Amino acid sequence: MKNKSDTALAAALWAQEDRLAPCVHCGFCLPACPTYVRLGDENDSPRGRLHLMRAVVEGRLAPDSQAFQTHIDRCLGCRACEPVCPSSVAYGVLLEAARESVFRARKTPFAARTLLAVFSSGVLTRWSMLLARIVRGLGFAGFAARSLPRGRTFHPVRFGLAMLEASRGRLRLEQSSDSGAAGASDYRAAGSAAPSGSVAAPSHGETPWKDGSRGRVAMLRGCVQAGLFARVNDASERVLRANGYQVVEVRGQGCCGALHTHAGDAVRARELARANVRALAAADVDFVAVNAAGCGAALKEYGHLLEADEECGEAAAALADSTRDISELIAGEAGRVGAPLPARVTYDAACHLCHAQGLREEPLMLLEAIPELVVLPLRDAEECCGGAGIYGITHAELGGEIGADKISAVVETGAEIVATGNPGCMMQIGAGLILDESDVITCHPVELLDESYRRAGFYDGR
């Protein structure tokens, strides 16, 4: 029999009871789940966690029980189980409901609670990002990450500093001395040799898009993206304009709330979502462009997050429908082709891009459209890198083990660059590469296209 406490804690799960029903426990999700593959525990598989959720709904298990919390906590939230599920179980929605139950049932670890509080406040976010940039700019993060003792296999402080260092832009581009073409240059990745010979920018016969002819676009600036990856936002804006979009600046936007949703802090997640809905809905744009996979998935699910909100529910659903990853807006035949960029790159498919948003071809089309860019296949490209929001804080060992597998896969490709469409993935993979003393660098796919456009002279006179 359920008591009042259990009823309050399990309310979020009970609201999703209909979404639990389609699971037939077929097991197709097992080999797709990174935690089950490594731990071999049925409770750490998607169907095992769904079984635990069902037990909570039916009153056979308390949501504040250690068993429930442990196995729900261990989930990366990568949603690799969704595409392989023959019953189309909305696992991501159910996981968030389960984590809301867990979040309300216990005291969140101090480090995670602090991080969530920081990103709930625009002022705290700006000051923390400023401090992070200062530490990064002084070189302290990289020095400390490499100097800290390595007694533990996955030291969270050392890895955190390496993640900060990984957010530093490491692309190095030098102007060729013997090229007569404006904008043409040799490519060199930090720590690697440049390809021999210089390549001039090709002539382009297509008629350039007129600025604004393809619609008005608002960019989600984000919190980590704006604070540590401003170069990616700048590159995204240039590329959008070069492809005929009018980019509109929108004030009043902030953190998308993805971290809070994944951690179970649904109250704060909804507060942040409401603020973004109000700001972006007032902008009167055709699309909202997002260059961070996790943020894009969060915005596309605002309709669900705020479905019970009488004031913002309808606007949230409309915003979700208008949200596009940047690759959706510029990939394909309509996108402009830039100058050659001779380099070897491999592509890591961010979980919330390929699994949550179902975008697999578009980011690759963006890369394959860059002349002379060699895209090398990555083993298990769609498996999680182990970052998963605050997973590195709450599960440093398991997250580190999953991340180490990703680093091995990247290094074995022989690529100079690994491109991925999410800041958390860039930092997680970049940190692993730094600590592995690898010369492979991380970047966002749009950064490579931006450089190709720069060499082609698309930004001349702007």
- pLDDT tens digits for 213-258? 889 999 999 999 999 999 999 999 999 999 999 999 999 999 999 9
Mean pLDDT of the chain: 84
Please give the pLDDT value at position 176: 38
Provide mean pLDDT across the span 127-149.
Answer: 86
Spatial distance between the Cα atoms of 367 and 438, rounded to a whole number of angstroms:
23
Residue whose structure tokens are 């702007």: 462
Q: Quick one: which of 259, 278, 277 has its CA closest to 268? A: 259
Compute the average pLDDT of residues 321-337. 90
Q: Copy the structure tokens of residue 268.
A: 């704060």
pTM of the model: 0.87
Q: To 5 degrees, how large is the angle CA 365–CA 222–CA 128?
A: 135
Q: Which of 52-66, 87-101, 158-172, 227-241 has the highest mean pLDDT?
A: 227-241
**pLDDT attached to residue 153:** 55
Average pLDDT over residues 267-282: 93
Beta bridge partners of 374: 344
Does residue 345 sit in helix, strand or coil? strand
**163 has a pLDDT exceeding 70:** yes
Q: Is 45 helix (H, G, I), strand (E, B) or coil?
A: coil
Q: Which of 57-71, 267-281, 446-460 has the lowest mean pLDDT?
A: 57-71
Q: How many residues does the chain have?
A: 462
CATH topology of domain 4-105: Fumarate Reductase Iron-sulfur Protein; Chain B, domain 2 (1.10.1060)
Report the pLDDT value the prediction gives residue 27, as an integer from 0 to 100.
86
User: Poorest-confidence range of 15-19, 268-272, 389-393, 421-425?
Assistant: 15-19
Quick check: 461 pLDDT over 70? no
Query: Greater confidence, 219 or 395?
Result: 219
Which residues of the chain are in CATH 3.40.50 domains? 171-206+338-456
Which two three-digit tokens encode residue 405?
């597998």
Q: In this predicted structure, what is the pLDDT of residue 115?
A: 83
**426 pLDDT more than 60:** yes
Helix, strand, coil fractions of the chain, as percent rounded to 5: 50, 10, 40
> CB within 8 A of 177, min separation 6: which ones?
none
Instruction: Please tell me the CATH code under which domain 171-206+338-456 is placed.
Output: 3.40.50
Measure the CA–CA gap between 459 and 13, rounded to whole angstroms: 51
pLDDT for the residue 207: 52
Choice among 385-394, 395-404, 445-454 with the minimum mean pLDDT? 385-394
Among 198-202, 302-306, 385-389, whose mean pLDDT is lowest?
Answer: 198-202
For 357-377, write each residue's pLDDT tens digit: 999 999 999 998 899 999 999
Q: How far is CA 143 from the centre of its chain?
A: 26
Q: What is the pLDDT of residues 49-58, one digit of tens each?
A: 998 888 888 8
What's the pLDDT band for 462 if we cut at 50, 70, 90? low
Q: Where are the alpha helices (DSSP H) in 413-460?
A: 423-435, 445-456
Q: What's the whole-number mean pLDDT along residues 200-208?
A: 45
Residue 157: per-residue pLDDT: 79
pLDDT of residue 151: 58
Q: What is the pLDDT of residue 7?
A: 54
Residue limits of CATH 1.10.1060.10 in the chain: 4-105
